[in-house]
Amino acid sequence: MKILSWNVNGIRAAVKNGIIKTLENENPDIILLQEAKADKMDIPEELHHTGYKIYVNPADKKGYSGTMAMAKQEPLSYTTGTGENNKDVEGRIQTLEYDNFYLINSYFPNSQHGLTRLDYKIQFNREILEYMDKLKAKKPVIITGDFNVAHEEIDIARPKGNEKNAGFTIEERDSMTEILSHGYVDTYRYFHKEPGHYSWWSYRFNAREKNIGWRIDYFLVSDNFIGKVEDSLILENVTGSDHAPLELILKQ
């Protein structure tokens, strides 16, 4: 089974930039997209002819944030947000339930320039971790998406120059450590120990060509599920967004 995850920076832009060709080349069973910036009515017509069932969780604010899932196999259940009392106004969370796992598509907040949303982000992290743990008590959890944090120095090209910047503050990194400490495995780092691999590059200063990047997109799995994972990849050569897509391959 192959699961693809990608911050596409707008689904309409992604279609123009060749996402359908990527889907044809990779042929994933499930595609989870972040920052879709669209509601159901805005999904390009071409995507409705790809053989996938489409699930959209838009933000209340038009053209902002939002998540989207495309699945060949219909899930046992589909929900948005983290529970009845927590309305997902920014469209950041989708959960697809399958026989052997819960699959969460997530778009974590950016703490923003000047760290104006740092407190909001840390609170979001706490709430989604509580939600993950609640699901994990029933069956294994896979969570993927743009976490908007480079966890360790190996995950960023220039750690020293970014220590107080959004996405690499000690508060965000500690929060990521807290998530992992609850029994979750960073699948990419489990299989790939070497530095120099990133999932996001600024559009400025030819950062992607120079590989001045950040690894801020993840596939985490419950620690009792890591044996079911065959590999976890960053498709660094696939363009069309400022993020590279991720790929999780599960054993038969």
Instruction: Tell me: is residue 242 an annotated ligand-binding position.
Output: yes
HEC profile of the chain: CEEEEEECCCHHHHHHCCHHHHHHHHCCCEEEEECCCCCHHHCCHHHHHCCCEEEEECCCCCCCCCEEEEECCCCCEEEECCCCCCCCCCCCEEEEECCCCEEEEEECCCCCHHHCCHHHHHHHHHHHHHHHHHHHCCCCEEEEEECCCCCCHHHECCCHHHCCCCCCCHHHHHHHHHHHHCCEEEHHHHHCCCCCCCCEECCCCCHHHHCCEECCEEEEEEHHHHHHEEEEEECCCCCCCCECCEEEEECC
In sequence order, the β-bridge partners of residue 184 are 222
Is 102 among the catalytic positions? no
CB 103 within 8 A of CB 74: no
39 is in an annotated binding site: no
Catalytic residue check, 198: no
Active site residue 29: no
Query: Does 7 show up as a binding residue in the annotation?
Result: yes
Q: Is 231 annotated as a binding residue?
A: no
Q: Which of 52, 184, 217, 243 is catalytic?
A: 243
86 annotated as belonging to a binding site for a ligand = no
Q: Which of 98, 102, 146, 218 is catalytic?
A: 146
110 is in an annotated binding site: no
Pick the catalytic residue: 55, 98, 107, 188? Answer: 107
Binding positions: 7, 35, 146, 148, 242-243
Q: Name the binding residues for Mg(2+).
A: 7, 35, 146, 148, 242-243
Show which residues are catalytic.
107, 146, 243
